[in-house]
């Protein structure tokens, strides 16, 4: 039985995990870099330990030090959150070898799904539709041009080991592809230690819709419906909602069944997400699998009443799921927006000292934040400083609630993307549910 968990992460997700642990009477150990020593989550945990300097390779990616702290504090388990080591198969194997439970899937499954090329092959085997593209690694720009002409432009050039939009670029011509290939491969090598590239046909007017799953160690799998994540900037999500306004009940059922089938085929356990691109005819295609908790998990929790972090811990404890698919129902509509310390026009990060920080409050308002007033946002990590989640009995009600909540948000001393979020959420196109992955480029950027 897990009695103490080390959280191998930072910011709002570390705070979120600590709250879930406290609810279950589980002791917590926080780790932090020198840049995060005054972060709120550090003081929420029962114990906190310095990892090292701000650079992630010397702190949040330092597997040996994290494991050493876990052993010294007698932690039974490690929760990796998202990002950093959350999808690192070697870290899971090191945890297991050290007798520490890794709260997530096995390293072998992570390894397979961590490579987008291997993941495509696995989904094909499971009978899940995939976007037309390359079956293996593309070695040179010349080979990429040849394949692109067979697939047909526009195409998405992608890093096999990529995430968060890194190493990804839409290209429309041979010249664009040649210029983009080397740069994206190099960037992927820098960020992920793997510069392997592949390509997929870009689906125009597509929606990014994902299915949340839970799978225990006894063969039981359920899906917690879908999240609509099409509002993105730089291929990274900024607005997520559940359920989707676009797909029918029939498509929802088909996507859920496809996700469950894929998970069972993989032998996957714990929480995970199958991401799909959905075209105008509601045909869906596998995009990728995230073998961890997602940033946007709160909207699913709001419409299902489930605590996904709590379920992760139960599954890691070897417990069977206490719910079946038929028990789950969609209740209302939830929307999440990511609050970034960034310029709302250029999307460039905006680190600095927060002089004023006032969160919106209300019955159906949920805040997941990583900062406080008089906090210094550093340039070392992702610029997301919080998430705002609202719930309404209908989507219209949720939108109205979200606009009011964003207007109440007060952050001074740094730039944030709140003006951008207000413009998007208050637009006629968003209110109509017309939210494809091209929304920001087509609707927001040209009018700035």
CB atoms within 10 A of CB 173: 12
In the annotation, is 207 catalytic?
Answer: no
pLDDT tens column, 170-204: 999 999 999 999 999 998 888 888 899 999 998 88
**The 3-state secondary structure of the chain, one letter per residue:** CCCEEEECCCHHHHHHHHHHHHHCCCEEEEEEEHHHCCCHHHHHCCEEEEEECCCHHHCCCCHHHHHHHHHHCCCCEEECCCCCCCCCHHHHHHHHHCCCEECCCCHHHHHHHHCHHHHHHHHHHCCCCECCECCCCECCHHHHHHHHHHHCCCEEEEECCCCCCCCCEEECCHHHHHHHHHHHHHHHHHHHCCCCEEEEECCCCCEEEEEEEEECCCCCEEEEEEEEEEEEECCEEEEEEECCCCCCHHHHHHHHHHHHHHHHHHCCCEEEEEEEEECCCCCEEEEEEECCCCCCHHHHHHHHCCCHHHHHHHHHCCCCCCCCHHHCCCCCEEEEEEEECECCCCCCECCEECCEEECCCCCCEEEEECCCCCCEECCCCCCEEEEEEEEECCHHHHHHHHHHHHHHCEEECCCCCHHHHHHHHCCHHHHCCCCCCCHHHHHHHHHC
Confidence (pTM) = 0.91
Q: Which member of 10, 227, 233, 292 is catalytic?
A: 292
Q: Domains in the chain, ordered, with CATH?
A: 4-103 (3.40.50.20), 132-201 (3.30.1490.20), 207-447 (3.30.470.20)
pLDDT band per the 50, 70, 90 thresholds, residue 448: very low
Indicate whether 322 pLDDT > 80: yes
pLDDT(154) > 90:
yes
pLDDT of residue 446: 53
Range in 34-48, 153-167, 344-358, 399-413 with the lowest mean pLDDT: 153-167
- In percent, the amount of the chain with pLDDT more than 90 equals 86
């Amino acid at each position: 039985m897990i009695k103490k968990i080390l959280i191998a992460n930072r910011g709002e997700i570390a705070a979120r995990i600590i709250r879930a642990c406290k609810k279950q009477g589980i002791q917590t150990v926080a780790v932090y870099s020198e840049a995060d020593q005054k972060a709120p989550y550090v003081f929420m945990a029962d114990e906190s330990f310095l990892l090292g300097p701000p650079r992630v390779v010397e702190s949040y990616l330092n597997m040996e030090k994290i494991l050493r702290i876990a052993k010294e504090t007698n932690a039974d388990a490690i929760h990796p959150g998202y990002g950093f080591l959350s999808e690192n198969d070697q870290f899971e194997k090191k945890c297991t070898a050290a007798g520490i439970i890794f709260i997530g899937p096995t390293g072998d499954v992570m390894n397979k799904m961590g490579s987008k090329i291997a993941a495509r092959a696995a989904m094909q085997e499971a009978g899940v539709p995939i976007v037309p593209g390359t079956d293996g690694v593309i070695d040179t720009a010349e080979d990429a041009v040849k394949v692109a002409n067979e697939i047909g432009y526009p195409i998405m050039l992608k890093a096999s080991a990529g995430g968060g939009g890194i190493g990804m670029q839409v290209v429309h011509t041979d010249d664009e592809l040649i210029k983009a290939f080397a740069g994206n491969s190099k960037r992927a090598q820098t960020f992920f230690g793997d510069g392997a590239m592949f390509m997929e046909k870009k689906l125009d007017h597509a929606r990014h819709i994902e299915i949340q799953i839970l799978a225990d160690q006894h063969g039981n799998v359920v899906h917690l419906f879908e999240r609509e994540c099409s509002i993105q900037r730089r291929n990274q999500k900024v607005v997520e909602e559940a359920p989707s306004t676009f797909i029918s009940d029939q498509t929802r059922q088909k996507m859920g069944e496809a996700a469950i089938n894929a998970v069972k085929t993989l032998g996957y356990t714990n929480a995970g997400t199958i991401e799909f691109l959905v075209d105008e005819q509601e045909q869906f295609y596998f995009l990728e699998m995230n073998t961890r908790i997602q940033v946007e998990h709160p909207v699913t929790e709001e419409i299902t009443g489930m605590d996904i972090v709590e379920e992760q811990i139960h599954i890691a404890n070897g417990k069977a799921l206490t719910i079946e698919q038929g028990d789950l129902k969609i209740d209302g509509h939830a929307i999440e927006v990511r609050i970034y310390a960034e310029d709302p026009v250029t999307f460039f990060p905006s680190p600095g000292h927060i002089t004023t920080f006032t969160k919106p409050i209300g019955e159906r308002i949920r805040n997941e934040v990583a900062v406080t007033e008089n906090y210094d946002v550093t340039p070392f990590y992702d610029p997301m400083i919080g998430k705002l989640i609202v719930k309404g009995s209908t989507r219209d009600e949720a939108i109205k609630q979200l606009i009011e909540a964003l207007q109440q948000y007060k952050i001074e001393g740094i730039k944030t993307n709140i003006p951008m979020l207000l413009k998007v959420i208050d637009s006629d196109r968003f209110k109509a549910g017309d939210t494809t992955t091209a929304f920001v480029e087509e609707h927001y950027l040209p009018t700035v």
